[in-house]
């Protein structure tokens, strides 16, 4: 169910939703921007411009009016903050989707704001909670957990086929064949459409998939081999270079955050 807001609704409204693992929230959009925090579980989000992965204890910003589809990985407890346009701008949120880290303070503020009824008469305390909530959202660092999708139909179909079963073992020639293009044409059009080489794009897709699988308690070695890396050490090296932490530390931080 998509919330309905009126002129008297606060600038920020927090709601809670629960989704069983495997739930697909069909394509939809919101009249307000949505800051969706995955308290438990992970989610994958798809738009016409790209796809994003939100691991546990992280959040994604979806601007108002952007059509998107969400797939739940694990049982997801989601706290959504719906922000009016001026509030979103004041928090420094962009007119594009973004994935963010979430501080312990922000988690507590989300819980406090959840108790505020949108139709209740405003109080000083409520206003202070919402003001601090919006300020803390604006202070969160953005995370590199997205990948662009080409708008050229043949490239888009090939990319979707890859994302249905991502692996480092799929080569450029295979992708070109899926797109019914020559290797040279595929390479040129892919770079022009995404701003990335296919090899870099493939690696980013696999890393995004890895974060989702790790959040479901899959072992590091299992995930590395499933995604076509030559070894768990090779996977760990790529993961650390792009996400700033080893897979083991990344998982430990997520689990520690979930305790608070």
CATH number at residue 233: 1.10.10.60
Q: What is the pLDDT of residues 119-152, one digit of tens each?
A: 788 899 999 999 999 999 999 999 888 888 888 9
* Number of structural domains in the chain: 2
Which among 73, 77, 80 is positioned nearest to 28, based on CA atoms?
80
Tell me the pLDDT band of 6, cut-offs 50, 70 and 90. Answer: low
Asked if residue 194 and residue 100 are part of one domain, the reply reads no
Q: What are phi and psi of 74, to 5 degrees?
A: 85, 170
pLDDT for 3 beyond 50: yes
Q: Which helix (H) or strand (E) holds 15?
A: strand 12-19
Mean pLDDT of the 188-200 span: 93
* In-domain check, residue 47: yes
Which CATH number covers residue 66?
2.60.120.810
Rounded to whole angstroms, how far apart are CA atoms 16 and 79? Answer: 5
Q: What is the pLDDT of residues 213-236, one digit of tens each?
A: 887 767 889 999 999 998 999 999
Asked if residue 153 and residue 139 are part of one domain, the reply reads no
pLDDT for 258 beyond 60: no
Asked if residue 154 and residue 139 are part of one domain, the reply reads no
Q: What is the pLDDT of residues 14-68, one digit of tens each?
A: 999 999 989 999 999 999 999 999 998 888 899 988 888 888 889 999 999 999 9
* In-domain check, residue 16: yes
* In-domain check, residue 79: yes
Single residue among 143, 168, 185 that ends a domain in this structure: 143
Asked if residue 223 and residue 119 are part of one domain, the reply reads no
* In-domain check, residue 1: no
Q: Please tell me the predicted confidence (pLDDT) of residue 213.
A: 84
Q: What is the pLDDT of residues 77-122, one digit of tens each?
A: 999 999 999 999 999 999 999 999 999 999 999 999 999 888 788 8
Asked if residue 194 and residue 136 are part of one domain, the reply reads no
Asked if residue 133 and residue 46 are part of one domain, the reply reads yes
* In-domain check, residue 7: no
Asked if residue 165 and residue 134 are part of one domain, the reply reads no
Single residue among 143, 163, 182 that ends a domain in this structure: 143
Range of the domain at 157: 149-258
* In-domain check, residue 19: yes
Asked if residue 156 and residue 133 are part of one domain, the reply reads no
Asked if residue 23 and residue 130 are part of one domain, the reply reads yes
Single residue among 143, 177, 193 that ends a domain in this structure: 143
* In-domain check, residue 6: no
Rounded to whole angstroms, how far apart are CA atoms 230 and 248? Answer: 18
List CB contacts of 79: < 8 A, sequence separation 6 or more: 14, 15, 16, 36, 37, 39, 110, 111, 114
Asked if residue 224 and residue 168 are part of one domain, the reply reads yes
Asked if residue 132 and residue 153 are part of one domain, the reply reads no
Asked if residue 227 and residue 110 are part of one domain, the reply reads no
Residue with tokens 């921007």: 33
* In-domain check, residue 99: yes
Rounded to whole angstroms, how far apart are CA atoms 22 and 233? Answer: 30
């Amino acid at each position: 169910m998509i919330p309905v807001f009126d002129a008297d609704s606060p600038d920020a409204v927090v709601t809670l939703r629960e989704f069983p693992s495997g739930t697909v929230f069909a394509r939809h959009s919101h009249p307000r921007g949505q800051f969706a925090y995955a308290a438990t579980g992970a989610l994958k989000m798809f738009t016409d411009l790209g796809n994003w992965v939100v691991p546990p204890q992280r959040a994604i910003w979806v601007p108002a009016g952007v059509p998107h589809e969400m797939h739940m990985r694990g049982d997801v407890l989601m706290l959504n903050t719906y922000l009016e346009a001026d509030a979103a701008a004041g928090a420094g949120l962009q007119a594009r989707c973004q994935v963010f880290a979430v501080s312990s303070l922000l988690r507590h503020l989300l819980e406090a704001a959840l108790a505020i009824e949108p139709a209740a008469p405003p109080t000083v305390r409520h206003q202070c909670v919402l003001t601090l909530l919006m300020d803390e959202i604006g202070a969160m660092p953005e995370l590199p957990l997205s990948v662009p999708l080409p708008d050229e139909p043949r490239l888009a179909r090939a990319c979707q086929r890859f994302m249905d079963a991502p692996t480092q073992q799929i080569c450029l020639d295979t992708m070109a064949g899926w797109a019914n293009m020559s290797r040279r044409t595929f390479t040129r059009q892919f770079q022009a459409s995404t701003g990335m080489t296919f090899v870099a794009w493939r690696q980013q897709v696999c890393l995004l998939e890895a974060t989702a699988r790790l959040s479901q308690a899959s072992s590091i070695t299992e995930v590395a081999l499933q995604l076509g890396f030559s070894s768990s050490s090779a996977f760990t090296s790529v993961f650390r270079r792009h996400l700033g932490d080893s897979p083991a530390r990344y998982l430990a931080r997520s689990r520690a955050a979930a305790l608070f």
